[in-house]
Structures are given as C-alpha cells and as structure tokens.
C-alpha cells in the first residue's frame, strides 16, 4: 500500500481536488484507518461495495481519474472489485462532478461501486450507495487503539456536531459549523439545506462565523452563529440569528459588524460567555416566526 504514515497523509493535498481543506483532512484520516485494515471499518465499505467477504487491499487517496478530475478515495478489494468513494462533511456539497466520476468508472474493465460517505442516508443519487459518518463511528467505537478513539471523538464532535463548543474552539475549529448543522438537522429534519459561512478573518478574528440555511428548497435567507461585538474587531462575540424576510421574536438591533448585510430581522442571546450548546441553538431557532 502507499505510505500510511498518518501525518504524511494528513498533510497531503492534490491540486484540482474539489474537496475543501477540512474535507481533505477527514478523507485522509479515514484512509489511514482503512489502510491499517481496521476490520469493522473495511467490512463497512466492503458491504457497501457489494463484496462483503473480501479484504481491502489498496486504498488510493485523491487519485486522478483521467478527465473526470480527482476522486476522494478509490478502494480495491482482494477479488479485484473497486469502489469510488465520495466524501462529504456537510449537506449541500457540490455534486456536479459525480457524473464525471461515474463516466470514468464505466470505462474500467469492471464497473466499480460508487459510495457516498456523508451525514445522511435518506437520499443519494443513483448509482451511489450511502455510508454515514455515524456508521464509521459505530465501526470504530470498540477499537482499543488510542488513535481510533481520538478519531471517533473527532467525528462525533467535529463532523456530527455532538457536544457543547467553547468560543475558542468555535473560532479555530470546525466544531461550531458541526454543532450548527446538527442543530438545524434536529430542528428541521430533511427540510433544511445549509452551508457554512464566515467573514474573512482579520488578525485571527471574524466579523461573523456560522451557518446560512433555508428550508423546503427555498432561498437560503436565514443565518445563525457568532457575531463580533465591536468594530474594530474585539475578542467578544454575540450568539445571534438573522433572517432576510422571516420575522423573529425578541428582536434586537442589527450589530455593527454586519452593517453590510441587508437583512431585516435579528435576535440573539447576548455575549458568548460559556460554551455554545444544542439547547442555545434550539432556543434561537425557536424564535423564527415561520408560517
């Protein structure tokens, strides 16, 4: 197999990949455990590839598939079956490149399986087959290896959004985004579409950092997250929800740090002084006066 040094893999990046840096990091970490032959994890992907009894023998990270561009992973099993794996860490990921990956696979001697690893299993486009990050956690949760335990915690906290998030982690890691996404999925279910959004950082500080969302296929015209308290930027943030059109209960004035936003409705819970929790997100989402 290729170099399976964890730190080499985490630092690798192929130009032209559609993955953002965080998605690339998650893909490389997952590939490390697949390359180590972790039994339950490899069995999970073998099952999805319809070769449940075959060991995994080759894991390719970000291979270039001719004119289709760069795939996240390509897995080869002992009997020669192969699987193309698309890795997603948030709903609404760009899927315009998937048909090109399918076309590239169709030109192989034997057609591969197509596996989409993401947050949900309620819908994936044919011919892709779903595997969820929660299934990855379940496959690794009994592994005594300390690295496997840390990766399991990373998936739970930084991808699936379980647990409260201190402000410093909300600014420097993916945990704020993960928590915001989890809160939206819990509140709206399959109705919600969302994407991470933030201002350009200045000196390690943000004007705002959070999640833009919409429901029922409508415009993404709502947002929640942290907003800097001052301009020039300070170390203090407020936890807020904003809406372009939908009215909010307990309205507050628009903060100065978002003065360029033309959104009419604002509400919040004041300065962030303790870790942000799912309950706080639920309280703000409950202020949306939806029809």
Are residue 86 and residue 41 in the same domain, yes or no?
yes
Decide if 290 is inside a domain. no
Confidence at residue 183, expressed as pLDDT on a 0 to 100 scale: 97
Confidence at residue 291, expressed as pLDDT on a 0 to 100 scale: 85
Confidence at residue 128, expressed as pLDDT on a 0 to 100 scale: 96
Are residue 212 and residue 92 in the same domain, yes or no?
no
Confidence at residue 92, expressed as pLDDT on a 0 to 100 scale: 72
Are residue 224 and residue 137 in the same domain, yes or no?
no
Decide if 1 is inside a domain. no
Beta strands (DSSP E) in the chain are 56-61, 73-77, 82-87, 113-118, 128-132, 192-198, 208-215, 222-228, 237-243, 265-271
Are residue 222 and residue 142 in the same domain, yes or no?
no
Are residue 102 and residue 177 in the same domain, yes or no?
no
Are residue 21 and residue 76 in the same domain, yes or no?
yes
Task: Write out the chain's pLDDT in tens, 291 residues.
Answer: 445 566 565 655 555 556 688 898 899 999 999 999 999 999 999 999 999 989 999 999 999 888 888 899 999 999 999 999 999 998 777 788 899 999 999 889 889 999 999 998 778 889 999 999 999 999 999 999 999 999 999 999 999 999 999 999 999 999 999 999 999 999 999 889 999 999 999 999 999 999 999 999 899 999 999 999 999 999 999 999 999 999 999 999 999 999 889 999 999 999 999 999 999 999 999 999 998
Sign, CA dihedral 116-118-121-122, equals: negative
The range of the structural domain enclosing residue 232 comes to 164-285
Confidence at residue 1, expressed as pLDDT on a 0 to 100 scale: 42
* Separation in Å, CA 129 to CA 16, 79, 116: 25, 20, 6
Question: CA-CA distance, 203 to 231, in Å (whole number)?
Answer: 13
Are residue 137 and residue 172 in the same domain, yes or no?
no
Confidence at residue 96, expressed as pLDDT on a 0 to 100 scale: 85
Question: CA-CA distance, 165 to 201, in Å (whole number)?
Answer: 19
Are residue 116 and residue 201 in the same domain, yes or no?
no
Are residue 239 and residue 106 in the same domain, yes or no?
no
Are residue 111 and residue 41 in the same domain, yes or no?
yes
Are residue 172 and residue 133 in the same domain, yes or no?
no
* Torsion angle (degrees, nearest 10) of CA 240, 244, 249, 251: 60
Question: CA-CA distance, 36 to 147, in Å (whole number)?
Answer: 12
Q: How many domains does the chain have?
A: 2
Decide if 291 is inside a domain. no
pLDDT digits (tens, 9 = 90+) for 119-138: 987 788 899 999 999 999 99
Taking a C-beta distance cutoff of 8 angstroms, is the pair 207, 257 a contact? yes
């Amino acid at each position: 197999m290729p170099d399976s040094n964890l730190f080499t893999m985490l630092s690798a990046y192929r130009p032209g990949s559609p993955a953002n840096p965080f998605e690339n990091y998650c893909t490389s970490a997952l590939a490390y455990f697949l390359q180590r032959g972790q039994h339950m994890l490899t069995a999970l992907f073998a099952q999805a590839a319809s070769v449940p009894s075959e060991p995994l023998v080759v894991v390719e990270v970000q291979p270039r598939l001719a004119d289709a561009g760069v795939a996240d992973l390509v897995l080869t099993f002992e009997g020669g079956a192969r699987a193309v794996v698309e890795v997603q860490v948030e709903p609404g990921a760009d899927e315009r490149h998937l048909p090109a990956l399918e076309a590239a696979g169709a030109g192989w001697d034997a057609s591969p399986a197509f596996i989409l690893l993401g947050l949900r299993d309620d819908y994936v486009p044919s011919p892709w087959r779903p595997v969820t990050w929660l299934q990855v956690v379940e496959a690794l949760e009994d592994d005594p290896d300390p690295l496997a335990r840390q990766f399991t915690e990373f998936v739970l906290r930084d991808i699936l959004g379980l647990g409260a998030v201190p402000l410093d982690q909300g600014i420097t890691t993916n945990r704020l985004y993960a928590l915001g996404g989890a809160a939206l999925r819990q509140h709206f279910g399959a109705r919600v579409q969302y994407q991470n959004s933030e201002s350009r950082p200045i000196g390690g500080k943000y004007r705002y950092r959070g999640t833009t969302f919409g429901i029922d296929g409508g415009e993404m015209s709502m947002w929640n997250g942290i907003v800097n308290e001052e301009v020039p930027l300070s170390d203090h943030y407020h936890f807020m929800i904003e809406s372009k059109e939908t009215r909010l209960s307990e309205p507050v004035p628009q903060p100065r740090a978002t003065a360029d936003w033309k959104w009419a409705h604002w509400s919040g819970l004041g300065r962030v002084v303790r870790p942000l929790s799912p309950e706080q997100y639920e309280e703000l989402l409950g202020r949306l006066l939806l029809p």
